Structure 1
């Protein structure tokens, strides 16, 4: 948005959206506890981190992508109407970092009132608003490891992680490249009492996913953690909007 648009932006009733999908071309939640469950996606723009391996840089990296082409202001009521017009139960609000936008609270309230179930995917650096800690809402919290290339002081926010851990509404998912990184995850798990834990191999091709999964599997099983995949990579070859 330019300066004029920003001035008139209603933070509670509007959202800056990157894309929505899952209606005309059905898809699944690709990661975490609901992997394989049919889902609608609302992908919001903007992020407060700059992970080197991020596969949705078009939501925040305006040095590489055109913000005017990649984002659109949409009213919360319009998004609610779009979701309620579909018979899919699960709605995934992702990003970017969704919790940067105040309108998420009104969006979630409307979706729950319409009988939907909501998952919010977050990097865990922004504590959840108490109005989001209600039945029907789950947070898929993905604290970033050193492999993200982001300084620890930005990617690990103790108060936020502690709030998620105490909420009873969070699952913790770590993007991982090697067995050695499991020790880094263990330190965070012990420090903030994170549970349950899901380990997800990083990669944007099926070949890399399979290779990393096989490298991690025994070590993840030995720690009694969950091993999850990126189903959309295996099923749709990282196609955008799937």
Structure 2
């Protein structure tokens, strides 16, 4: 599996000026946004380290599971200026800021977002929806792909479903709600959450880390998603790049 390690742009940046980054990719080896409303769009990725959830089915445990991974090996501090310079070295317009859970570091994300927008980029945050965005992040050129985690994903919903945060994303007018699903029962739970919290638009993504599993889950869910008039997304990076890290 090919891995793109974190860029060592300015390792001496002061903590208050830096973000904790797991990896950046999409410049030397081009890639796409693999999920959600922009699936298939050329994209750059800034994956931040750390998460406030511990989902057993998480596929980026190297951003938070220090029982299995060494945080000193899996993350570095990167300056905002260095990250902006990295992103602007590419003509690709879309920058996906993901994690982990990126909004843990949102105070330091504000200058990054401002720098990227000033450089003509547009931004998508991939967030688990448990932390409301600061008003400074709710800006032109910014979208939020909010992915609330169901109990079937291996996390207690008392931790993963935060009504006040979901309401803030709804109020922003800049969010889509993307749920990972494995079964028709998951679709029923998504419907309950969407109705309770007025979540729209709803996107459903089949769980899986191999093309075979994604195809089987897609077929199991397709009728239920279509009946509810929701959007359906695949996991393009798995289909195209065999879930290789850094793609």
- Partner residue in 2 for 1:162: 167
The correspondence for 2:65, drawn from 48, 61, 82, is 61
CA distance in 2, matches of 1:25, 1:73: 22
The correspondence for 2:223, drawn from 214, 218, 221, is 218
CA distance in 2, matches of 1:22, 1:112: 18
Q: Secondary structure at the match of 1:165?
A: helix
| Number of aligned positions between the proteins | 235
Unpaired segments ≥5 residues, structure 1:
1-7
**Displacement after TM superposition at 1:11 (Å):** 5.3
- Partner residue in 2 for 1:228: 233
**Structure-to-structure mapping, 1:104-143, within 5 angstroms:** 104-143=109-148
**Displacement after TM superposition at 1:180 (Å):** 1.2
**Displacement after TM superposition at 1:151 (Å):** 1.4
**Displacement after TM superposition at 1:148 (Å):** 1.9
Q: Which shows bigger deviation, 138-147 or 150-159? A: 150-159
The correspondence for 2:80, drawn from 76, 79, 94, is 76
The correspondence for 1:36, drawn from 37, 40, 59, is 40
- Partner residue in 1 for 2:17: 13
CA-based RMSD = 1.1
- Partner residue in 1 for 2:211: 206
The correspondence for 1:52, drawn from 43, 49, 56, is 56
The correspondence for 2:181, drawn from 160, 165, 176, is 176
Q: Secondary structure at the match of 1:46?
A: coil
TM-score, reference length from structure 2: 0.93
Does the CA-based 8 Å contact 2:125-2:144 persist in structure 1?
Answer: yes
**Displacement after TM superposition at 1:152 (Å):** 1.5
CA distance in 2, matches of 1:90, 1:67: 28
Does the CA-based 8 Å contact 2:13-2:78 persist in structure 1?
Answer: no
Does the CA-based 8 Å contact 1:146-1:152 persist in structure 2?
Answer: yes
Q: Could you list the per-position Cα deviations for residues 135-154 of structure 1 after superposition, in whole angstroms to 9, with x for gaps in the alignment? A: 10000000000112211211
